[in-house]
Structure 1
């Protein structure tokens, strides 16, 4: 099995998992893993397919701009239009995998906190890579758009190395990690944190605790 097929198999398995969770409805969402860094190359799930039915062949190799590189094993397949943002996130953060899903809680949270979603003093923050107490965490929110360069610039402007997530308003969430497993664990914990925050509708008390 080639490195690309191995990456494709892992991406297909993760996509099926998220589909079962209801986080990749229809053909929405996209995942990527870094194949190499000099130059940057990513394997990205293809566009337009049910993410619960992908195979190891349903990936496209893209460059740092999200453009398909030459000599694809399946040149007829197209990368997601959002692959450019995957490339920017991987380049800036150093992540080995980027996950983008359309789970509801982050989108609702961004409606309530469009300047960034504040989280504090919740045990699940440890699973997101932050301290459970006395750690100010703000999940950045950027406006939606179709130009991945614009979204990439907005992401980079607010990037913090200790906050591996980005909410795109009225769209979805991006979470990244060293690999697909770490990205998944972070996403699962973040979804819980945001669902709790939205459900309880707690606001910082005098810039204090949630």
Structure 2
């Protein structure tokens, strides 16, 4: 059973992660959202609350949701809580990060069919060798309907890549823990920034 203490502890972790991303300019204003899984059976996910400055979150600025992203306690969750829950169920991840970065939006527009990556040392950060392997970061069309967006993510995702770009929107990344999800987010964003510079000269 998930307790209020469990939720507040999760909120403290998410607040620290959000402050880090906000310091990079990846969660401007109230944009972006984070989640961490508290229980898989029954499914319980802690998601950052809607409408809060992500650089100023407190441990109580978090909402407990079920497998459909519906709030169980703690107020109003992010509008994308349903997608966080689906990603966690689909991938087996225990933490999900969503940031709004310029590089992810621009690269999603430049390469809507997916962003091909190879021969880069930083690929080790998402579990791939630096040489001899090609991996594609999926790009999906945006939607305000989280069920539609979830269907697109499920259809496009590559199990070898713990991230997806939502065109015109931003980046989703996930991992076994908030720390790993953070690392995946930072590595994929680095790769996106590099590709953007290469494509723009």
User: TM tier, shorter chain?
Assistant: over 0.9
In the alignment, structure 2 segments of 5+ residues that lack a partner are none
In the alignment, structure 1 segments of 5+ residues that lack a partner are 203-210
Deviation at 1:11, TM superposition (A): 0.2
Would the aligned equivalents of 2:138 and 2:158 in 1 still touch at CA under 8 Å?
A: no
Deviation at 1:107, TM superposition (A): 1.2
Would the aligned equivalents of 1:107 and 1:168 in 2 still touch at CA under 8 Å?
A: yes
Name the CA distance, whole Å, in 2 between partners of 1:39 and 1:115. Answer: 36
Structure with the bigger percentage of helix: 2
Say whether 1:68 aligns with 2:66: no
Deviation at 1:128, TM superposition (A): 1.9
Would the aligned equivalents of 1:129 and 1:186 in 2 still touch at CA under 8 Å?
A: no
Say whether 1:29 aligns with 2:22: no
Deviation at 1:178, TM superposition (A): 0.4
Structural mapping, 1:1-210, within 5 Å: 2-69=5-72, 72=73, 74=74, 77-201=75-199
Name the CA distance, whole Å, in 1 between partners of 2:148 and 2:98. Answer: 17
Name the CA distance, whole Å, in 2 between partners of 1:108 and 1:136. Answer: 21
Q: Secondary structure in 1 aligned to 2:174?
A: strand
Would the aligned equivalents of 1:144 and 1:169 in 2 still touch at CA under 8 Å?
A: yes
Deviation at 1:112, TM superposition (A): 1.0
TM-score (norm 1): 0.91
Equivalenced residue count is: 197
Deviation at 1:134, TM superposition (A): 1.4
TM-score (norm 2): 0.95
Name the CA distance, whole Å, in 2 between partners of 1:184 and 1:28. Answer: 16
Deviation at 1:39, TM superposition (A): 2.2
Q: Secondary structure in 2 aligned to 1:49?
A: coil
Q: What's the C-alpha RMSD, in Å, of the aligned pairs?
A: 1.2
Would the aligned equivalents of 1:128 and 1:187 in 2 still touch at CA under 8 Å?
A: no
**In the alignment, which residue of structure 2 is the partner of 1:207?**
none
Would the aligned equivalents of 1:4 and 1:43 in 2 still touch at CA under 8 Å?
A: yes
Would the aligned equivalents of 2:115 and 2:139 in 1 still touch at CA under 8 Å?
A: yes
Name the CA distance, whole Å, in 2 between partners of 1:173 and 1:65. Answer: 21
Residues 72-128 of structure 1: per-residue CA shift (max 9 Å, x gap): 2x3xx2101101110110000000100000011111111111011111111100012
Q: Secondary structure in 2 aligned to 1:201?
A: helix
